[in-house]
Amino acid sequence: MPKKAHSFLLIAVMILAAALAGCSGNTDTASGENGSKKTIKFMHLWPAGSSKQQNQIVTDIIEQYEAEHEDVKIEVEVLENEQYKNKIKVLSSSNELPDVGFTWAAGYMTPFVKGSLFAELDDVLNDGLKESFVSGTTEAYALDGKSYGLPLELNIAPIYYNKEIFEKYNLDVPQTYSEFENAVKTLTDNGVAPIALGNKDRWTGSLWYMYLADRIGGAEVLNKAIDRSGSFEDPALVSAAEEIQNLVKENAFNKGYNGLSNDEGKAEFLNGNAAMYLMGTWELPNFTTNEEIPQDFRDSVGFFKFPTVDGGKGNIDSWVGGPGVGLFVAENSKVKDESKEFVKFFVEKWGEQSVEKAGVIPATKVDTGKVDLPDLYIDVLNELNKASSLTLFADVQMSASVAETHLNLIQSLFGNEVKPADYAKQHEEALKAEEGN
Amino acid sequence: MNKVLSNKKVLALYITPALFLVLALIYIPIVQTGYYGLMKWNGIGEMDFIGLKNYKVLMKDALFWRSALHSFLLALFSAISLIGYLFISIILAGKIKGADLLRKIYLIPMLLASVAIAQLWMKIYHPSNGMLNTVLMASGIEDPPAWLADANLALYAIIIPIIWQYAGFYILIYYAALKNIPESLVEAARIDGASPWQIALKIKLPLIMNVIKVTIVLAVVGSLKYFDLIYVMTGGGPNGASEVMASYMYQKAFKGFDFGYASAIGFFLLVICLVVTYIIRRFTAANEDIY
């Protein structure tokens, strides 16, 4: 009996040891040359479950690429958005980024570039690819004149509205801010929440602030405050904050918006409780092709441009938006040339299919005559061609820590916990502190 | 079996893997965290040694102290709730009808994943069509609060599900401890004419005192490093109103990209937990020690 117990424990120890060895076993074979085949490690953030169409396109592109390049194998890892961001952070701290992966523009990308983790992609762009991008999109992925990412998506943020509700209360699409305020008043008087907002996520409220800043002070005022050629205590930025609190006072947003996520806020719009919803064009599939949302509702959704403010400097064709995710190539990749070729191939193929198949507007130009799309898409794409300027989302423009301050302040502003002047002052202080570093 | 376990070499052989695991997964990261806490590091580029600057900033960081206050509030409420659990357990262990079923009912929340609990309570707290506000509106309250969105209420609104979540765990511990009390003691007291109330207070409570002490430490330390429901339900918002120390650390590391500072917070959190544990032990170690 003692002998039996002994061997049993010994086996248990060996199993444990084997399990431990398994944890660290296969890190070296994954990247680089694998026999005669070269392996490109590719990480993306569109799981088949939540982003079915995008996932399908990516899979198709990879298959196509592997068929054309028999010596290359592409190894894919998929994670959902937030997990993806966390994993990239962890991988980059040990310098083990995948050969090709997704990044966001400007402020998000900067530390990676400064840490020399991303490869320069100017050679890829200058190889004739640059012309196919919508102007202003690749710039968001450039730092000190060099490009480090190829944008895949382009989004602008219109105000979607429920035509049925507007008709019921005899409202017209507002062209000016005072018309907009009247519409808000009519809706609240009739017990309809005018605007759907989920401000737990905070960037959702930031969109409202950015538009008001743009319409009151012009397209440059916020950009200048952030790049430090201006000040955040600019009167236009303060009065934009005052306007936000006026909207709050008028009950323009659905109840409890500060505790609701964007999805919960969106639900208020989707089930007809709220009349308007300011959001990026990534929502377009929900208002056109998504079969899970009732046809009646999808047919009743229209969009309008953020109205101009009387006496303000803003142009109605100026948009808040910008490129969404983009592709990077890792600087220390063992298969850098192959990876660069792959990202180029990816961007081209993606541009041909994304809008038609997945409803994602690519950062490359779309020929509206050639694609078969719902009217809402055509209208948005046409507006995009007319756009006078594109202001990148504030939290993307800012460095991560300033962005955190900004987002928290947005939540306080909407929650009436901070005065507009202090709101501006605290922004200015955070930006200044960052500059000192 | 006894023969095997008395052989010192074999003992060492068996202890090594576990020791190795604990070292690799717990103690080495703690040392590393302490080390990172002395750095200015965004998690990507080079680290700069800045000595104790992170800690100096931390001492003056109003947002951190606010979240620390929230953590301590949570710990206080968790500790108070133990009284309720103890009371329930005494009733359950007192041979009432359906005690077994009730015990299972209390235990179920503990079996749910934190995220599921968070989703469940977010539905309850939903400002316009949540269960709670529907009931409140039906009973004539016209403008019920928007629980998780209200800076004054958000923290308390989250403390309730946290307490609810762990009810089953503590009730189970107390229940098991109470069941371990020899029947003969209770019997003897009863024969001597003690009332059920006296039996509970004078016989059962002192006999499970050690278990109670352990649960106090568990509840307080568990609350101080609590993270999950807060992260899912409010993300610490609105504007830090429900932020606790662990969620603040997460914000700094993964949202603010300030790993050095976040490591300092993490290390400081560990120190706080150790100190609090020590204090609780000091105060409760009146008669018999178990550490």
pLDDT of A3 over the 70 cut: no
Q: Which of residues 50 through 109 in chain B touch A, CB cutoff 8 A?
A: none
Give mean pLDDT, residues A194-200.
Answer: 94
Question: How would CATH label the architecture of A32-153+324-366?
Answer: 3-Layer(aba) Sandwich (3.40)
* B112 burial via Cβ count (<10 Å: 0-12, 13-18, 19+): middle
pLDDT at residue A282 greater than cutoff 80: yes
Q: Is the pLDDT of residue A371 over 80?
A: no
pLDDT digits (tens, 9 = 90+) for B75-111: 999 999 999 999 999 888 877 788 888 888 888 888 8
What's the mean per-residue pLDDT of chain A?
86
Q: A295-318: per-residue pLDDT in tens?
A: 999 999 999 999 999 888 888 999
**Tens digit of each residue's pLDDT (9 = 90 or more) over A24-82:** 444 444 444 455 688 999 999 988 877 788 889 999 999 999 999 989 999 999 998 87
- Find the mean pLDDT for residues A94-111: 89
This model of the complex carries an ipTM of 0.76
Using the predicted structure, report yes or no on whether residue B63 has a pLDDT greater than 60.
yes
Strand, helix or coil for residue A338: helix
Averaged over B166-179, what is the pLDDT? 92
Considering CB atoms only, which of A254, A259, A399 is closest to B154? A259
- Please list every residue in chain A whose beta carbon sits closer than 8 Å to the beta carbon of residue B148: 200, 256, 259
Alpha-carbon span A207 to A160, nearest angstrom: 13
CATH superfamily membership of B25-284: MetI-like (1.10.3720.10)
Homologous superfamily, domain A156-321+391-436: Periplasmic binding protein-like II (3.40.190.10)
| Percent of chain A whose pLDDT exceeds 90 | 47
CB contact under 8 A, A259 and B150: yes
Q: Do domains A32-153+324-366 and A156-321+391-436 have the same CATH topology?
A: yes
Taking the domains of chain A in order of start, what are their residue ranges? Answer: 32-153+324-366, 156-321+391-436
Position B288 pLDDT exceeds 70:
no
Q: What pLDDT does residue B245 have?
A: 94
Which of A10-19, A91-100, B43-52 is predicted least confidently?
Answer: A10-19
* Interface contact B234-A2, CB threshold 8 A: no
Across residues A412-432, what is the average pLDDT?
A: 93
Quick one: which H or E segment has residue A277?
Answer: strand A274-278
pLDDT above 90 for A354: no
H helix or E strand, kind and range, residue A340: helix A336-353
Number of helices and strands (H, E) in chain B? 16, 2
Distance from CA of A408 to the nearest CA of B (A): 5
CB distance A256–B251 less than 8 Å? Answer: no
Of A9, A117, A259, the CB nearest to B127: A259
Alpha carbons A331 and A333: distance in angstroms, whole number:
6
Average pLDDT value for residue range A207-219: 94
pLDDT-derived band at A177, boundaries 50, 70, 90:
very high
Beta strands in A137-273 (DSSP E): 142-143, 146-147, 150-151, 154-156, 159-162, 193-195
Q: Which helix (H) or strand (E) holds A212?
A: helix A203-217
- d(C-alpha A199, C-alpha A412), whole Å: 10
CB B236 within 8 A of CB B21: no
Which chain A residues contact residue B254 at CB under 8 A? 85-86, 89
pLDDT at B290 over 50: no
Chain B residues inside the 8 Å CB shell of A86: 254
Could you tell me which residues come within 8 angstroms of residue A103 by beta carbon, excluding any fewer than 6 positions away? A88, A109, A112, A118, A141, A148, A149, A325, A326, A327, A328
- Report the range of poorest mean pLDDT among A56-65, A391-400, B216-225: A391-400
3-state secondary structure (DSSP) of residue B123: helix
Given this model, what pLDDT does residue B268 score? Answer: 94
Element (H, E) at A99: none
Element (DSSP H or E) covering residue A106: helix A106-114
pLDDT at B238: 86
Partner-chain contact B254 A86, CB within 8 Å: yes
Q: How far is B26 from chain A (nearest CA, A)?
A: 16
What is the predicted pLDDT for the residue at A24? 44
- Between B44, B151, B255, which is nearest A117 by CB? B44
Q: Which of B1, B21, B44 sits opposite A92 (nearest CB)?
A: B44
Collapsing DSSP to helix, strand or coil, A293 comes out as coil
A contact test, residue of B25, B44, B48, B148 with most A CBs within 10 A: B44
Q: Which residues, other chains included, contact B238 with Cβ-Cβ below 8 Å and sequence gap of 6+? A: A199, A200, A258, A259, A411, A412, A415, A417, B149, B150, B151, B154
Report CB contact under 8 Å: B4, A417: no
| Interface contact B111, partner A, CB < 8 A | no
pLDDT value of residue A85: 86
Q: What is the DSSP letter of B200?
A: I
DSSP string computed for A382-403: HHHHH-SEEEE-HHHHS-HHHH
Give me the pLDDT at residue A133, please: 85
User: Please, what is the Cα angle at A180 between A175 and A183, to 5 degrees?
Assistant: 125
